[in-house]
Chain A
Amino acid sequence: MSALAVELGCVAALLATAVIGVAAARTPRLGRVSVYGLAAIVCTIALVSAAGALLRQEPPAEIVLPLGLPWLGSHFSLDPLSAFFLVVVDLGGALASLYALGYGRHEHAPQRVLPFYPAFLAGMNLVVLAADAFSFLLSWEFMSLASWALVMAHHREAANRRAGYVYLLMASFGTLMLLLAFGLLAGTAGDYGFAAIRLAPHAPWIATLVLLLMLLGAGSKAGLVPLHVWLPLAHPAAPSQVSALMSGVMTKVAIYGFIRVVFDLLGQPDWSTSGIVLLFGGITAPIGILYALMEKDLKRLLAYSTIENVGIIFVSLGLALAFQANDEKLPAALAFTAKLFHVFNHSLFKSLLFFGAGAVLSATGERDMDKLGGLIHRMPVTSVVFLVGSIAISALPPFNGFVSEWLIFQAVLQSPQLPQWGLKILVPAVGALMALAAALAAACFVKAYGITFLGRPRGPATSKAHEVDRFSLAAMIIPAALCLFAGVLPGLVMDALAPIASDLLGNRLAPQSPLAWLSIVPLAESKGSYNGLLVAAFIIVSASLSYVAIRLLATGSVRRGPAWGCGFTDPVPLAQYSAAGFAQPIRRVFGTLVFRARDRVTMPPPGDIAPARLRIELHDQVWERIYAPLANGIVGTAVRLNRMQLLTIRGYLSLVFVTLVTLLLVLAIWT
């Protein structure tokens, strides 16, 4: 049986699981075990089959099912690109299902989650498999609606209802853009199969327009600034396993859509469009992480950090486009591989971190970091895996996040080969923005980890917390191990990704795994190389050496005492640094520009014992400058149009009459 048939079977199985979910929702325990257990098994099967197809480098396969539009049918295909994204989707799906086997116990409204969860997974799989515009859009919409239902699972909270509303609006906007893009692609001939679109020639202006529409459509789903507003509202509102899927996987499906259209269907891009993509990505990355730094809700912080990573991915997309437009095949393959690597990495560590946040939430009932603290003592395993995720996402060696960013930097360094002056100057500037984002990400995760897991407990819920169940722990340990694996042996991952680049760009990086010591050399030895294995081994060896030496030379004794408060011992844990306090220096440096941040201190006069108050004002400029005026404009127009509902009969008649005459006039002038 071909891999494609297995994948489609898995989708069918997931849809069947959704039906079971409807039926079994009345009995929470049975429903949970059957739905999440089945989903985990099906996703694992799909994962194995997709990974097999990718590693064996199977030729692209296509199936036409007699569904959907009668003259079109539904095309599904499996080529290396979709196989890779299936791996990302199903790995995330399997982990999230495993996690939910334990975590789902805390769900108080299972009937609102169980049916939609497998449907959401099925939708994401279908988007990646679809091979004609109609099934693609249908699956895309299905995925959006299923995830919307999951966002609305806890709809009694007003914030979640608002999140669902904004999400629905933005998702519709995105789908509209995709619809227009595919309409332009199909042209007047109206052939909606991907194979036909790929062969048809596209006029340059159409290609540019399609790229822009895709940037809006896929970018709004992925969370590109300024289309990101729904993401930090919707992702944290869902149950944690769904947050992990939405952040770690669904944004990747959006990126898949962008790659599929821009790199596969459009053909040779124009260099100026790559500049636009670079600019969007370069702005998104630091802005996203600055938002994350200002946040004190753990899950929202993670959602904002997703925006940063999407920015990084779009930067490398832009780089790949720029090199491709100038026929620099090898750097293009480098940037492209780096991007896929980052897609894979981000799906791993973002799922891991959301699982960790969910574990903290279920153990303490808190998402507000200012009420947490000291969890490293209460939740030892969770704190270790969360630390791994934090290091990996901060792009620090020897974990995987560093490797993909290193590859992107290597691609940035190839910018002098580009002939256009604009790109030559833009690319290093974008590189600086990326470096800024990476450094801020490290700051952000020092804050997230330090406030949540370190220090002393800030609230009563935290001091009674205990470690989560075994399923959740297993679901967190697996991605943590994979993060380390991909960081230490990046050559294997890069080799697995190589056929995709050769398929779409016509060139690939040299095979990495035969190289001595398993190091990676993306372009040439003289240009730069990295060996994760050796660096990790070096760190471990020198740490152990220093440990042994210290044991031999120094006393091993330890005394415990109260923390030294410099003469002022404060027994109140609230006097510790808070999330907002930690971000204060960065807020002062960057916030005044990005958020128009202002601190207002109300100090009581001397002698008065009232507490001093500090108020921080932050303005979400994207919301205030773009969305609020837009919403006001729409509401204003609607109010004005509302009068049309209260006309007299004569009024209505004259309206109809005027319309008719106008149409006739148009017809008369046109023909």
Chain B
Amino acid sequence: MHGLAFDISHSLAGGLVLVSFMMLYQDRLTSLLNVFALHALMLAAAVAWQAFIQDAPHLYVTAAIALIFKAIIIPVALRRIVYKLGIHREVETVVGIGMTMLAGMGLVALSLALMLRVTADADALAREDLAFALSVVLLGLLFMVTRRNAVSQVVGFMSLENGLILAAAGAKGMPLVVEISVAFSVLIAFIVIGIVLFRIRERFDSVDVSQLDVSRGERS
């Protein structure tokens, strides 16, 4: 188990956390989409490697789904949306990148401290995968919380979901059916959000979600 195989899966999972941080660092939508594609690519590689070392062919399917849908189709589609909405040049006002990154560090520290303590007697690889996966999920949530733009929130949601898949791949026991249904539900969610985006845009002339508060009557 140990040795090179362990090292590579460790590096791939760690790389996923790193790419999550890169997403936090971006303030332009187009570069964000590129980084998101990289995120999905990293996930596909990590899952494929898990499939290889666990000798679990169904995980290859998961990897392929991640690669095709998340690394290619969704980024391309989102990019088209962004260009169609004409917001590809906008710099998003983020709540202080430095502070966000610091908060991210805190979240990673938290998930490491928690996971490593809780899973003290588990297999080293699964343990590590879980710790990383929780970090990715928390970073995705953080990303969604700190962004205003609806497109960024979609991306944040997807990256969160990537963390879940990483956890599932490491946990050796998630049946293929569940994975496929998760993948499709994400796709449907994506389509719904895409449609909603256009509706928001039509109505409010912006995709800043804080505009939605107005229609709820929270702000006058």
A binding-site residues for B, Cβ under 8 Å = 421-422, 425, 429, 592-593
In chain B, residues 77-111, which have Cβ atoms closer than 8 Å to a Cβ of chain A? 96, 98-99, 109
A593 touches B113 (CB 8 A): no
Instruction: Select the residue from B109, B112, B117 with max chain A CB neighbours within 10 A.
Output: B109
A residues within 8 A CB of B96? 592-593
B99 touches A593 (CB 8 A): yes
A422 touches B113 (CB 8 A): yes
A residues within 8 A CB of B112? 421, 425
A residues within 8 A CB of B12? none
With A and B bound together, what is the CA distance between A593 and B98 in angstroms?
10
A residues within 8 A CB of B113? 421-422, 425
For this complex, 13 residue pairs linking A to B, each with C-beta atoms less than 8 Å apart, are A421-B112, A421-B113, A421-B116, A421-B117, A422-B113, A425-B109, A425-B112, A425-B113, A429-B109, A592-B96, A593-B96, A593-B98, A593-B99
**Number of B positions contacting A (CB below 8 A):** 8
With A and B bound together, what is the CA distance between A592 and B97 in angstroms?
13
Closest-by-CB residue of A relative to B105 is A429
B residues within 8 A CB of A422? 113
B residues within 8 A CB of A421? 112-113, 116-117
Closest-by-CB residue of A relative to B116 is A421
Closest-by-CB residue of A relative to B106 is A429
With A and B bound together, what is the CA distance between A449 and B116 in angstroms?
49
B binding-site residues for A, Cβ under 8 Å = 96, 98-99, 109, 112-113, 116-117
With A and B bound together, what is the CA distance between A429 and B96 in angstroms?
20
Main secondary structure of the interface of A (DSSP, over half): helix
With A and B bound together, what is the CA distance between A30 and B136 in angstroms?
74
CB distance from A5 to the nearest CB of B (A): 54
A residues within 8 A CB of B116? 421
With A and B bound together, what is the CA distance between A425 and B113 in angstroms?
8
CB distance from A112 to the nearest CB of B (A): 48
A residues within 8 A CB of B98? 593
Closest-by-CB residue of B relative to A589 is B98
CB distance from A344 to the nearest CB of B (A): 34
9 closest residue pairs by CB, A with B: A421-B113, A425-B109, A421-B117, A425-B113, A422-B113, A421-B116, A593-B99, A425-B112, A593-B96
With A and B bound together, what is the CA distance between A429 and B102 in angstroms?
11
With A and B bound together, what is the CA distance between A593 and B100 in angstroms?
12
CB distance from A464 to the nearest CB of B (A): 46
B residues within 8 A CB of A425? 109, 112-113
Closest-by-CB residue of B relative to A590 is B98
A residues within 8 A CB of B99? 593
Closest-by-CB residue of B relative to A428 is B109
Closest-by-CB residue of A relative to B113 is A421
CB distance from B127 to the nearest CB of A (A): 13
New A-B pairs, 9, CB < 8 Å, besides A425-B112, A593-B98: A421-B112, A421-B113, A421-B116, A422-B113, A425-B109, A425-B113, A592-B96, A593-B96, A593-B99
With A and B bound together, what is the CA distance between A429 and B106 in angstroms?
10
With A and B bound together, what is the CA distance between A210 and B6 in angstroms?
48
Closest-by-CB residue of A relative to B99 is A593
With A and B bound together, what is the CA distance between A214 and B117 in angstroms?
32
B residues within 8 A CB of A592? 96
With A and B bound together, what is the CA distance between A429 and B98 in angstroms?
15
CB distance from A18 to the nearest CB of B (A): 51
With A and B bound together, what is the CA distance between A80 and B124 in angstroms?
48
With A and B bound together, what is the CA distance between A593 and B97 in angstroms?
12
With A and B bound together, what is the CA distance between A592 and B95 in angstroms?
12
CB distance from A586 to the nearest CB of B (A): 13
With A and B bound together, what is the CA distance between A425 and B115 in angstroms?
13
CB distance from B17 to the nearest CB of A (A): 15
Instruction: Select the residue from A421, A422, A592 with max chain B CB neighbours within 10 A.
Output: A421
Closest-by-CB residue of B relative to A432 is B105
Closest-by-CB residue of B relative to A593 is B99
CB distance from B135 to the nearest CB of A (A): 13
B residues within 8 A CB of A429? 109
With A and B bound together, what is the CA distance between A421 and B131 in angstroms?
14
Closest-by-CB residue of A relative to B114 is A421
CB distance from A476 to the nearest CB of B (A): 40
With A and B bound together, what is the CA distance between A593 and B113 in angstroms?
27
CB distance from B215 to the nearest CB of A (A): 32
CB distance from B30 to the nearest CB of A (A): 27
With A and B bound together, what is the CA distance between A429 and B117 in angstroms?
19
With A and B bound together, what is the CA distance between A421 and B98 in angstroms?
25
Closest-by-CB residue of A relative to B109 is A425
With A and B bound together, what is the CA distance between A422 and B96 in angstroms?
27
Instruction: Select the residue from A425, A429, A593 with max chain B CB neighbours within 10 A.
Output: A425
With A and B bound together, what is the CA distance between A321 and B109 in angstroms?
22
With A and B bound together, what is the CA distance between A422 and B106 in angstroms?
12
CB distance from B130 to the nearest CB of A (A): 15
